[in-house]
Amino acid sequence: MTQIEVQGLVKRYGDRTAVGGVDLSVRRGEIFGILGPNGAGKTTTVECIEGLRTPDSGTVRVCGLDPQTDSAELRHVLGAQLQESELPDKITVGEAMELYSSFYRDPADWRGLIADLGLTDRTRTQFRHLSGGQKQRLSIALAVIGNPRVAVLDELTTGLDPQSRRDTWDLIESVRDRGVTVLLVTHFMEEAERLCDRIAVIDSGRVVALDTTAGLVSTVGDRQRIGFRPSAPFDPGVLSALPEVFGVDRAEDRVTVTGTGDLLSAVVTELSRHGVSASDLRIDQPSLDDAFVALTGRSIDD
């Protein structure tokens, strides 16, 4: 069952094409990630889904609704958390929740919601006195106060410290566990890898890959990387000659070997044949980072 369907979405600002033909479909109950570097067209894509922008061409459907023509109905089924969207300084958490819940036909119980989000002891606190993490939690609460079927969360954890970020991830999972389909926009690999069932990688306004997280990672193959410090100098050529090894790098006293298959035992066996042992051994499995580099030819932070 598809909750969000986007086909051939194009959006231009003047002569700059922000989104150049995006297709994606989000299934009910999943956390779907839109991953890409800043300026890739992620936010423009979700703003078209939210009905805040009018696409130049292509179709968008959210629960069967056209955001342009069924805007009034869309507001009841889609909850949105926007980037850089604040509340009045002096409104309290409780007042904001009560006010926003009155906007909807069938709102969630706002007291229960802020209890789940750990904001109950902040009910009487004014917005300006909340921490960054608390503001983000309130923002999630406002996005789901109307009991939406779809929640769009845009760059939710940007600017948060690592602990708040992890707490927020738990909250996003709890939103999904309420039966809400989550569309998550992020440029954090770790976040996408941890949370998303499926991911669309967007680069320069296009979807360059759309798969499960595991599926994306497997596009880089089962490439592995082993790093260690050799106990004695040796000729790297002996490792390069192994069939499992793609390459050998030396940096100061560390050696990094990339390769495939049973790389570790091949390397260790070969080293011991030459009387060398490996200390500080580290093995890296391929990650979404590697997949992103393989797909776009650059790192997401560039």
Partner 1 sequence: MTVLLRLTRAETRLFLREPISVVFALLFPPVLYAVLGSVPSFQEAEEGLGGLRVIDLYTPIVVALAFTVPALTNLPQQFATYRERGVLRRMRTTPVRPAVMLGAQMLMYTCMSVATMLVILALGRVAFDVDLPQLPLAYIAAHLLTSLAVLAIGLLVGAVAPSGTSAGAIGFVLLLPMLFFAGLWTPRETMPDVLRTISDATPLGAGVQSLQDAAAGDWPHLLHLAVLLGWTVAAGALAARYFRWE
CA angle 90-92-93, nearest 5°?
140
Which of 71-79, 188-196, 216-224, 265-273 is the region at the interface with partner 1 (rule: CB under 8 A)? 71-79
Alpha carbon separation from 274 to 207, 237, 242, 247 (Å, rounded): 48, 12, 14, 19
- Residues contacting partner 1: total by CB under 8 A: 25
259 closest CA partner among 278, 271, 241, 275: 241
Smallest separation (angstroms) from partner 1 to the CB of 53? 11
281 closest CA partner among 247, 238, 230: 230
Smallest separation (angstroms) from partner 1 to the CB of 106? 11
Does 87 sit near partner 1 (CB under 8 A)? yes
Rg from Cα positions in the chain: 24
Rounded CA-CA distance 80/70 in Å is: 16
Q: Yes or no: say if 111 and 69 are a contact pair by the CB < 8 Å rule.
A: no
Given the complex with partner 1, which of 4 and 216 has the nearer CB atom? 4
Does 88 sit near partner 1 (CB under 8 A)? yes
Residues in 120-179 at the binding interface with partner 1, rule: CB under 8 A:
142, 146
Does 86 sit near partner 1 (CB under 8 A)? yes
Smallest separation (angstroms) from partner 1 to the CB of 206? 26
From candidates 102, 269, 272, 299, binder to partner 1 by CB under 8 A: 102
Task: Name the residues that contact partner 1, by CB under 8 A.
Answer: 50, 52, 72, 75-76, 78-80, 82, 84-88, 90-91, 95, 99-100, 102-105, 142, 146
